[in-house]
Structure formats: structure tokens, C-alpha cells
Structure 1
């Protein structure tokens, strides 16, 4: 009997220890997520300040753009060039959303120098039709033009950065992978896409979202995680208090019972008398 009691106590202790450990780990995870969102908010503020500085700086030249190291982001810098159509065929970047509509970003390769890399120029957003088999018609640049605008690079898709080009032209692609597009064209590309301020004869909108989530949203998410951590901690404290109250009540009942050894006999005699009366 004593051995069974020791096993039961050991099991209860192990269960409570495991529950306490899991509770502490969950609380720490929630708090960690809150601080992670605050770090993200600070990074976004720094990035926004850098974008503002780049936008207010003098436009880059084509030669300056080509000197950028591959690891450096060119997003937000302005560029001023004279360019000619390298080809009349275009790429359609799939799964784009603008003002609640799903569609494509139309991209045309342009040539700036005879022997230099081409550059992709964003013609704008075009809505998709109901039938995905039918691609939209997009007006393209046909003559040499002066282009002034801002540069951007898309962040790599963590799930897949594969181009997944479809047959034919316009060529629908799934990711803005400049290296893969360069290999497909057989021509090097400048590090970034040029989004012009305006294009004569082409009236398409140009979405601009270099920061998908603002710092305010990250702070809102941080507040949610901290609130969940607080609610979880209060729930655990209530559970501990409730359990302790039940334990104290049980101990008090056992103490009263031990202090009245004849209580059990009296209760038994009372039940017996009641049954006898019946």
C-alpha cells in the first residue's frame, strides 16, 4: 500500500512539474513573439527612413547602377536613363493585387547601352480576366524614350523563387527572379526593376509597396502577443489559486474528521437507525 502511495505521489509530482514547465515555456514564447514584433517595427522604421532618403537623393545614372554590389538593395533609388525596347515581348508577373483586383505586373526588357545589361521596365498593373487561359493585351514601348522613376527589387519568396515561365508570349511568370529571367533571355539584367513616373501612351497604374507591413501594424501585433501572454499568466494564476483553495478545504475537512474520531461511528449508527425505521 505504501509503495502504491509513493508511486501515486511521484506521478502527481511529475505531472505537475510537466504542466508547470509547459506553462512557463508557452508564456515565454508569447512574450518572445511580442518582442520580435517590436524589433520588426524598429527595422521597418529604419527602412522607411532609408527609403525617404533615397527618394530625395539625386537620380542614379546607368553606370552608377551597374556598380552596386549584388548584396545591396537598390529599392527606393531613383534612376534617369534613355532606353530603347530590347524586344516587344513582355513578362506578366502573376498573382498581383491592386485596389482589390487580381492581375499582373507587365514588364518589358529595355536596352540602355549597346553592350550593357538590359533593364526590366514596369509598364504597370493590368487586371486579369475571368479565364486564366486568356492573357491580357498590353501596350508596349516601341521607341526610344527618356525614363525617370524609382528602382525596386522584390524580396525572395521563402516558399519558392522559381520563375516557372509558361510557354508563349506574353510570358506569365510566378516570381520576379532576375537571375532566372536573365538566363531565359540569354542576356544580363541590371540589378532592379525601373518603375517610371509616367509612360507616354501607356496609362496603367504602378503599385508601390516596398514595405508590405508598416511599423504601426507590427506594434499592433506586439500588443496582441503581450495581451495573450498576460491573459495566459492570469489564467495560470487563477488555476493555481483555485487548486490551492480546494487543497486547503480538503485539508480542513480531514483535520475536522481526525479531531472527531466518533463522527464516523455516529454517522453509521444514524444510517442504521434510519434503515431500521424503514
Structure 2
């Protein structure tokens, strides 16, 4: 009897976990749908000034809003975010920090995608901006991976980094940085790709995962019932 109780209890626990994972994916799909709606609204919202960006960035994720600001490249060095892919090509996203106002935090600006070579010891050449610019574009804030979020900056310039950890990057350059990053659309002579992935997984992806979890729960339940039916049938004989 004890063995049967253990089997039934284990079955209920596994089945419940699979079903809960399915509902969790449905909740994530709903969240992503709401986030997509918000992003669409932000695309048509009024262009933010840098002061407005500073006021709001401490309270919310401003991904998708447009920004226009005068920027000065005091630190003419480039950071290369590792392990990026665009159209099947592996490489880096290049960034440069700009001063907006001597009394305010600096702004990290995306310079675009640079294809990596076969030899990882050889980094791509990305020229830094050297002249002040009136930059316009949209801002984003990358989600941090809880399993790996450290900057892991390597020696030399351009400086290869593994994660876009704004706080650690600010410590590295010894200047405060705004939490959001600007993806400009008016860099001079800009031929690099600027991938836009504000939502890593779409609502449809989460819905697909939910179907998979529910299917696994259903298949598991059917197998257990079948095994139980055969066991009872053998006992009757």
C-alpha cells in the first residue's frame, strides 16, 4: 500500500508541475503581449529630451522611447559586446560613452554590429566618434541574465565585454552612466546593422512553450493511467 501511495503522490506532483509550467508560460505570453502594445505606443510618443530620460529612467524601463540630444565623445574608446548574432553572422555590438552635460551622467551609444573573425584574438576595427553630434534614435535597456551578468572586461582597446552591465561599466570608466542605451539612427557614414530585439521571446513563443508543457502533462497522465490499468488487470487475473 505504501508503494502505491508513493506512486500516486509522485504522479500528482509531476503532473501538477507540468501543468503549472504551462500556465506560467501563458502568463509570460500575456506579459509579452502587453509589453509589445506598450512598445508600439512608445514609438508614436513625443521624443524625449535627455532631462526627461534622466527623470524617468530611475522609475521605469524606457525601452522603445525616442530620444534626441547633443552628445560629446570625450572618451574616444569602443566597447565590444561579445556573442551577438545578426542574420546568422556572429560578432559584436559596439558601444561608445558620450557626455551630454558635464554635471549629468554619461550616455552609452550603440555604434552598430561588427562581424567577428575566425580568430577571436583579433577584434574587429570600429572607429570611435570624435566630433560632437546631435543624436536621435530610440533607447533600450537590456535584461540582465541572473546566471551571468558580470561585465568581464578584457584588457586593451577596443575592450571586449561579455555583458552590458551598466553599473560595472560606469565603474570601469569612472563616470556615472544612464541605465538606458541609445540606438541612434543618424550616425555619420553609418553602414552597420542595428538589431532591434526589445523582447527576447515573443508572446507566440511562450504560447508554443505552454502547449508543449500541457502536452507533456497530458502524455504523462495517459502513460500513468495506462500503467495503472495494466497493473490492476494483472492483479484481477
Q: Which TM-score bucket, shorter chain as reference? A: over 0.9
Query: Where does 1:214-233 land on structure 2 (aligned, <5 Å)?
Result: 214-233=202-221
**Structure 1 Cα separation of the partners of residues 82 and 125 of structure 2:** 15
- 1:178-209 superposed Cα distances (whole Å, 9 cap, x missing partner): 11111111111122110012311121000110
Give the match for residue 240 of structure 1: 228
- Contact 1:62/1:81 (8 A) holds in 2: yes
Q: Greater helix share, 1 or 2?
A: 1
Gaps of 5+ in 2: none
* 3-state SS of 2:72 partner: strand
**Of residues 144, 150, 170 in structure 1, which corresponds to 2:158?**
170
**Structure 2 Cα separation of the partners of residues 212 and 93 of structure 1:** 17
**Structure 1 Cα separation of the partners of residues 224 and 122 of structure 2:** 57
Give the match for residue 36 of structure 2: 48
TM-score by length of 2: 0.96
**Of residues 162, 171, 177 in structure 2, which corresponds to 1:183?**
171
Q: Does 1:134 align with 2:122?
A: yes
**Of residues 139, 143, 149 in structure 2, which corresponds to 1:155?**
143
CA RMSD of aligned residues (A): 1.2
Give the match for residue 82 of structure 2: 94
Q: Does 1:85 align with 2:80?
A: no
Deviation at 1:91, TM superposition (A): 0.6
- Contact 1:139/1:202 (8 A) holds in 2: no
Deviation at 1:162, TM superposition (A): 1.3
Deviation at 1:68, TM superposition (A): 1.9
Deviation at 1:70, TM superposition (A): 2.4
Give the match for residue 101 of structure 2: 113
The 10-residue stretch of structure 1 (33-42 or 190-199) with the greater mean CA deviation from structure 2? 190-199
* 3-state SS of 1:82 partner: strand
Structure 1 residues 69 and 141, CA gap change in structure 2 (3 angstroms): closer
Give the match for residue 67 of structure 1: 55
* 3-state SS of 1:93 partner: strand
Query: Where does 1:21-60 land on structure 2 (aligned, <5 Å)?
Result: 21-60=9-48
TM-score by length of 1: 0.82
Deviation at 1:98, TM superposition (A): 1.2
**Structure 1 Cα separation of the partners of residues 12 and 62 of structure 2:** 44
* 3-state SS of 2:126 partner: coil
- 1:219-277 superposed Cα distances (whole Å, 9 cap, x missing partner): 1111111111111111111112212222222xxxxxxxxxxxxxxxxxxxxxxxxxxxx
* 3-state SS of 2:111 partner: strand
**Of residues 213, 222, 237 in structure 1, which corresponds to 2:201?**
213
Deviation at 1:18, TM superposition (A): 0.6
4+ long deviations beyond 6 Å = none
- Contact 1:74/1:191 (8 A) holds in 2: no
**Structure 2 Cα separation of the partners of residues 240 and 161 of structure 1:** 47
Greater RCO structure (CA 8 Å; 6+ sep): 2
